[in-house]
Structure 1
Amino acid sequence: MKPERKDIKPGMIVLFIQKKHQSSGELTEGIVKSLLTSAPSHPHGIKIMTVDKLVGRVVEIVDSEVD
């Protein structure tokens, strides 16, 4: 099950799928800058933007420790 919005916070390290990688399922690791999905959950994952300005849907939280 994909993480819900309440579980994702800026600063966390997550694995996410960028739109261009949806067909291959290739995961990218990044640090959450902001949450772009306003709903509490989404069947494809919560959409986020990373500090590197990449956008994708969260599949897994790698590190939930926020500095």
Structure 2
Amino acid sequence: MTGTKRDHIKPGSKVRIVEKQNQRSGELTEGIVANILTNSATHPHGIKVKLESGIVGRVKEILNG
């Protein structure tokens, strides 16, 4: 599932994100969502989240609910 809808993502969800510096390469980072940073219901490039590791990026894949 893609990460463009905020209601599909919850703290504790396992996701793959793309960090700002990796947007051109498309390199994904896997982790657990700590906070959801995007306030709007949807975002075409992915909902911005902060992982438990402190990394911030946009969700490209949701691995589990």
Give, in angstroms, the shift of residue 63 of structure 1: 1.8
1:41 is aligned to: 42
Indicate the RMSD between aligned Cα atoms, in angstroms: 1.1
User: Structure 2: which 5+ runs fail to align?
Assistant: none
2: CA distance, partners of 1:34 / 1:8: 10
SS at match of 1:20: helix
User: Structure 1: which 5+ runs fail to align?
Assistant: none
Number of residue pairs the alignment of both structures matches: 64
Q: Are the aligned partners of 2:2 and 2:62 in contact in 1 as well (CA < 8 Å)?
A: no
2: CA distance, partners of 1:2 / 1:63: 11
Q: Are the aligned partners of 2:16 and 2:63 in contact in 1 as well (CA < 8 Å)?
A: yes
1:2 is aligned to: 2
Question: What is the TM-score with the length of structure 2 in the denominator?
Answer: 0.93
Give, in angstroms, the shift of residue 2 of structure 1: 3.0
Question: What is the TM-score with the length of structure 1 in the denominator?
Answer: 0.90
